[in-house]
Amino acid sequence: MKISSAQIRQKYLKFFADRGHAIIPSASLVPENDPTTLFTSSGMQPLVPYLLGQKHPAGKRLVNSQKSFRAQDIEEIGDNRHTTFFEMLGNWSLGDYFKKEQLSWIFEFLTKELELDPKQLYITVFQGNSSVPKDIESIKIWKELFQSVGMVADENERIFAYPAQKNWWSRSGEPDKMPAKEPGGPDSEVFFDFGQNLLIHEKSRYKNEQCHPNCDCGRFMEIANSVFMQYQKQPDGSLQELRQKNVDFGGGLERLAAVVNNNPDIFKTDLYISIIQIIEKITGHSYLEKINRPPMRIIADHLKAASFLIVDDVYPFNKTRGYILRRLLRRSAVKLYALTDKTPQSEMFNEIASNIIQTYQNTDYFDPIIDLPKISSVISEEINKFGKVLAKGIKMIEKTDSIDAKSAFDLYQSYGFPIELTAELLEQKGQKINLGEFKDEFEKHQNISRTASKGMFKGGLIDHSEAVTKLHTATHLLHTALRKFVGTNIQQKGSNITSERLRFDFTQSTRLTDKQKQDIEIWINQQIAEDLPVTRTIDSLSGAKAGGALAFFGEKYGEKVTVYTIGNEKTGIVSQEVCGGPHVTRTGVLGSFKLGKEETVSAGVRRVYAFLKPK
């Protein structure tokens, strides 16, 4: 192996630190104040307020390696390059440098630091549309960069222009799909060419065209994406230039580890190979056998993702994040069953989880002493529970002469018994299930679910309006009140704020008593009546904590943090938290605080709703 993944990560961080970038830590996989997604799926997600103009405590140049999770990729896992969990190497310019510096540095990093052959690098840029012109500037810069290493980089041979579906980036996709106030911009991607002899799939989707970087045949792998985040969607649907031009770069560590070794299979990198070897040992099958690769890749990816989610306090549940985690663990169990023909045991999963932690021993992602027992406990409980479901489902299928699509869906819905396993077991009996009819049943159920959840959003602040800002400030008072009247062990586990109400998740195993609720309401309304000042300061994390600020949320913080304080030395400080904002400047504008319903989120986590009404 030419360069290890740890060396790539370190080289990247040092490269940009040497160019004036502050190294910031990875945020939690559970995002704070982001209504667009359940999980942190890119490095820019926690930085949106700063891309829109708010000053970052660490300055205008930032770099990190961000742990990321994309639930929408679950069904794609099994090929050589897709994963649900990945590390995204990222650097940002918040209104500082722009295209010239960014593209030059990325080219230098790839060709000098990682020693990639420039002849194997291909470039894509934005071809333009009715609102944004073609990225001629990037094309010119790339031509000069290749010329500096003695290469001619012509358009449609080395540099390719694509429409917004391919070369525009925002959290919600191309410009037409962006909601109002969402930032985005054209991007320039770098692809690595493994050569025609390393095609992964038999045919390109562009059957009658010459293979090119965005072809899905497997020959090319995207390894770097420089987003020029300079636009914001307006309420009227137009795009308007931001006051500052930003750079948002992302490069997947797993893919970079693959290309430096000229091997298109990321599961053969040091980020996965030892995990695959444990799976080989447990199952008695070889990864060299092509038929074993997809299920082994799924097990390796899903258990790695599950381990990272559990460390960030996600637990198996029937809704939202907990449902995704449950799906990962159960899908892993099904694949392990397919490879061993035995009901999966928690010991198998825990052995794999232990190896996952060892894989990241040179990072601060895991604390083996604390995290391994936690991961093992959660996995054991879920797998032992699902093992009974597997056994029950298998028994039902073996006893039944035939199962139609509706029965298969009932088995799936009632017991969580996967359709793929139902189909496999029926095939062993010489029977087939109509997957089209099963899909119809599934879509019927989905339509009902969508109708039920219409209008909901997933977490954080729905916007930065006045009403939402007031409720966000109120969550700080609620957090303090819960710790004051229920227990100082209480920690925030998430929030969801619309213009109508706040939703606050916190660690607690029992319901609040009527007395506790009454005390909380009275105390919060007292703080509002006193019209306390709300101030924003920047401090070191250690200084903020020493000064009494709470910093419990799952994300990790940089050397400099933003602290919001309610009250002061004269009035008395009632709340002090590390937070990205926004907040009101005085509590007197909040109105009247009222608690709403309370419910269970998952084991050890409860949820309470609250409202603000004008006085």
SS3 content of the chain, % helix, strand, coil (to 5): 40, 20, 35
Integer Cα distance of 514 and 431 in angstroms: 58
Other C-beta atoms within 10 Å of 257: how many? 27
Other C-beta atoms within 10 Å of 46: how many? 21
Q: Is 64 left (phi over 0), alpha (psi -120 to 50) or beta?
A: beta
Q: Which of 125-129, 180-184, 202-206, 254-258 has the lowest mean pLDDT?
A: 202-206
Q: Reading across the β-sheet that carries 560-566, which strands appear in turn?
A: 534-540, 560-566, 575-578
CA-wise closest residue to 337 among 403, 278, 276, 283: 283
Give the model confidence (pLDDT) of 30-66 as tens digits: 887 665 578 998 888 889 889 999 999 999 999 999 9
Other C-beta atoms within 10 Å of 18: how many? 8
| pLDDT confidence tier of residue 200, bands split at 50, 70 and 90 | very low
Residue 362, classed as helix, strand or coil, is coil
Average pLDDT over residues 118-136: 96
Q: Do residues 77 and 298 make contact, with C-beta atoms less than 8 angstroms apart? A: yes
**pLDDT above 70 coverage of the chain, percent:** 91
Average pLDDT over residues 111-133: 96
Average pLDDT over residues 385-400: 78
Integer Cα distance of 260 and 254 in angstroms: 10
**What pLDDT was estimated at residue 197?**
56
Q: Do residues 608 and 512 make contact, with C-beta atoms less than 8 angstroms apart? A: yes
The average confidence (pLDDT) of the chain is: 87
Peptide bond into 183 cis (omega under 30): no
Average pLDDT over residues 568-596: 89
**What pLDDT was estimated at residue 449?**
43
Q: Is 547 left (phi over 0), alpha (psi -120 to 50) or beta?
A: alpha
Whose tokens are 């961000």? That residue is 66
Our measurement of the distance from residue 226's CA atom to the centroid of its chain's CA atoms, rounded to an integer in Å, reads: 19
The torsion angles phi and psi of 512, rounded to 5 degrees, stand at -70, 140
Q: What is the pTM of this model?
A: 0.74
**pLDDT above 90 coverage of the chain, percent:** 57
Tokens, residue 60? 């205008």
User: Is a pLDDT exceeding 50 seen at residue 164?
Assistant: yes
Q: Which of 280-294, 444-458, 561-575 has the lowest mean pLDDT?
A: 444-458
Q: Do residues 394 and 426 make contact, with C-beta atoms less than 8 angstroms apart? A: no
User: Is a pLDDT exceeding 80 seen at residue 148?
Assistant: yes
**What pLDDT was estimated at residue 366?**
94
Residue 506, classed as helix, strand or coil, is strand
Q: Do residues 558 and 47 make contact, with C-beta atoms less than 8 angstroms apart? A: no
**What pLDDT was estimated at residue 425?**
72
The secondary element (H helix, E strand) that includes residue 68 is strand 61-69
- In order, the DSSP letters of 396-455 are HHHH-S---HHHHHHHHHHH---HHHHHHHHHHTT----HHHHHHHHHHHHHHHHHHHTT
| pLDDT confidence tier of residue 212, bands split at 50, 70 and 90 | confident
Integer Cα distance of 588 and 530 in angstroms: 7
Strands 492-497 and 460-461: parallel
CA-wise closest residue to 584 among 572, 566, 569, 570: 566
User: Is a pLDDT exceeding 80 seen at residue 225?
Assistant: yes
In this structure, the chain runs to a length of: 615
**What pLDDT was estimated at residue 463?**
59
Q: Which of 98-102, 183-187, 392-396, 480-484 has the lowest mean pLDDT?
A: 392-396
Our measurement of the distance from residue 169's CA atom to the centroid of its chain's CA atoms, rounded to an integer in Å, reads: 16
Integer Cα distance of 132 and 225 in angstroms: 19
Give the model confidence (pLDDT) of 502-549 as tens digits: 999 898 888 999 999 999 999 999 999 999 999 988 888 888 888 888
Integer Cα distance of 358 and 363 in angstroms: 10
The torsion angles phi and psi of 580, rounded to 5 degrees, stand at -85, -5
User: Is a pLDDT exceeding 70 seen at residue 1?
Assistant: no
**What pLDDT was estimated at residue 208?**
55
What sign for the dihedral angle of Cα 585, 586, 589, 592?
Answer: positive
Q: Do residues 300 and 276 make contact, with C-beta atoms less than 8 angstroms apart? A: yes
CA-wise closest residue to 28 among 498, 502, 462, 364: 364
Average pLDDT over residues 589-606: 87
Give the model confidence (pLDDT) of 419-463 as tens digits: 777 877 787 778 888 778 877 877 776 665 445 333 333 445 555
Integer Cα distance of 289 and 339 in angstroms: 12
What DSSP character marks residue 48? Answer: H
User: Is a pLDDT exceeding 80 seen at residue 25?
Assistant: yes
Helices and strands in the chain, H and E counts: 17, 17
pLDDT higher at 386 or 602:
386
Q: How far is the CA of 260 from the CAs of 27, 81, 423, 517, in angstroms? A: 27, 14, 40, 58
CA-wise closest residue to 67 among 25, 35, 34: 25
**What pLDDT was estimated at residue 66?**
96
Q: Do residues 421 and 338 make contact, with C-beta atoms less than 8 angstroms apart? A: yes
pLDDT higher at 258 or 448:
258
pLDDT higher at 74 or 358:
358
**What pLDDT was estimated at residue 448?**
52
Q: Which residues, other chains included, contact 202 with Cβ-Cβ below 8 Å and sequence gap of 6+?
A: none
Strands 159-162 and 168-169: unpaired
Q: Do residues 503 and 461 make contact, with C-beta atoms less than 8 angstroms apart? A: no
Integer Cα distance of 519 and 481 in angstroms: 8
β-sheet bridge partners, residue 612: 593
Residue 160, classed as helix, strand or coil, is strand
